[in-house]
Structures are given as C-alpha cells and as structure tokens.
Amino acid sequence: MTWHADILTLFPAMFPGPLGESLAGKALGAGIWSLKATDIREFGQGAHRAVDDTPFGGGAGMVMRADVLDAAIGSVADGQRPLVVLTPRGVPLTQKRVQKLAAGPGVILLCGRFEGIDQRVIEARNAEEISIGDYVLSGGEIAALALLDAAIRLLPGVMGTAASADEESFSTSLLEYPHYTRPATWQDRAVPETLTSGNHKAIADWRRQAAADITKIRRPDLYAQYIASGAIAP
C-alpha cells in the first residue's frame, strides 16, 4: 500500500520540492509513497479568502483561523493517518517517532505561518504538535519536508541496504561512528589503522567505542540513555 502524505499549506508549490529528487524522488515515481499538497487558501473566508486574523489579547502578527483550518483538515482526514501540526511549541521530533510514522499508513501535516495557529483547532482535531528543533522557521513547510524526508527513507524499498538504517545515529541511542573512504592517506591524515585491518570484531569494537566517545561529548543526554539501557560503558 502506498504511504500517503497530505500537506495543508499556504504554499503548495513548495512540495514535493527537494523530495522530488534522489531517493525520495525515485520512491515517489515508483509509487512507494504519494503526496498531495492542499492550499489552505481554498478554505479561506470571504472575497479575499482570508485565512488569518488578529490575535485575541493583542500583540504582534496574525493567527491562522480555526474554522478555516478545520475545513482544510476535514477535506483530507480519513480517521487513519495521524494529524501532525508543525510548531516550535511541539514535542521534539525523534527517530523513534519517525519510525512509527513510517510504519503506519501515512500522515497529514499542517504547516503554520504567521504567529501560529488558533489552539482550538489543534485540540478539537486531536492533533499532535511536533517541533523539528529549538529554533524558529518562518513557516511549517520546511519542517514538514524534514519530517517527510526522515520517514520516507525508512519505507520498504527506499533505501539500498536495510542494514544502513539499523546502524545510524539514534538507532542505538548513540551518534554514529565516523566514516572514512579512499584514499587511505589524505593530506598526511591516515585512516584509523583498525579499519584497514580486516578484523571484523576489532572494527566493530572500534566503531562502538568511537560512537560512545562522540556521544558522551556532544550528547550527554543520549549517552545517559545508552548507559541506562544496560549497555556496558566502554
């Protein structure tokens, strides 16, 4: 069955955008996943098809209207796929959540603009609020593309070797070990000797140690999870 993404956006021309290229693009062409970008403006109010209004309580900027967004959501909701609102106020996106989304039938993504979205439609539609990081984008479209890219590459038949997903950063609570390829020496920098030894056990040990070392320095939160999971501290 095709994994289907509906995107609700004021800028439908931004899709599939970069997802029309490379692995995701090929998979789109092959029908492994499909995408429909719906223009929220189609559901706008009045002659000008207004989608936003001033915030109750005052303050800068405009807020996307609940009635407009509810109609847009209603045009694609199927009771099967989760509705995700991209927002910096959301729960941070994780590889675990991406894996679950990829394992389901697809997703409906609502992209905010302006100051954000009337909270009532988020609650009424039981939407999941997801953030792609602690910074503010000008709209939800790039966040939606990031989420989709992460999910699509996990769909069966998209990635070359299934094993590559298992060893990646976050799959084991560790960041990935560093990679090297030819030439074995470049600008007087040699590749770590173990990697050219042909000793598979030593290579696996080296990689685990390198992954643990970098995680401990860069992401002590992930390292603590790794240790808590019962892994032996290297």
- 133 in contact with ligand SAM (CB under 6 A): yes
Closest distance to ligand SAM from the beta carbon of 66 (Å): 14
Q: Which stretch binds ligand SAM (CB under 6 A): 46-54, 107-115, 170-178, 202-210?
A: 107-115
CA distance 148 to 27: 12
At 65, the amino acid letter reads R
Name the residue nearer to ligand SAM (CB basis): 144 or 211. 144
Least distance in angstroms from the C-beta of 64 to ligand SAM: 8
> Closest separation between CB of residue 126 and ligand SAM, Å?
18
Residue 30 three-state SS = coil
Name which position in 115, 168, 176, 213 contacts ligand SAM (CB under 6 A).
Answer: 115
Calpha distance 24→8 (Å, rounded): 20
Is 140 near ligand SAM (CB under 6 A)? yes
Ranges of beta strands (E only) in 119-167 are 128-131
User: Can residue 55 be called a binding residue for ligand SAM (CB under 6 A)?
Assistant: no
| Distances from the Cα of 154 to the Cα of 124, 149, 159, angstroms | 31, 9, 7
In the shown chain, the binding pattern of residues 59 to 98 toward ligand SAM, with x for contact by CB under 6 A and - for none, equals ---------------------------xxxx---------
Buried b (16+ CB within 10 A) or exposed e, 180-216: eeeeeeeeeeeeeebbeeeeeeebeebbbebbbebbb
**CA separation for the pair 160, 82 (Å, rounded):** 28
Q: Does 136 bind ligand SAM (CB under 6 A)?
A: yes
Q: Cis ω on the peptide bond leading into residue 183 (within 30° of 0)?
A: yes
How far apart (Å, rounded) are the C-alpha atoms in residues 168 and 192? 20
Figure out which of the listed residues 10, 72, 84, 132 binds ligand SAM, where binding follows CB under 6 A. Answer: 132
Name the minimum Å distance from CB 62 to ligand SAM: 10
Judged by CB under 6 A, the stretch of 70-78, 118-126, 131-139, 159-167 that binds ligand SAM is: 131-139
Which residues bind to ligand SAM, rule: CB under 6 A?
86-89, 111-113, 115-117, 131-133, 135-140, 143
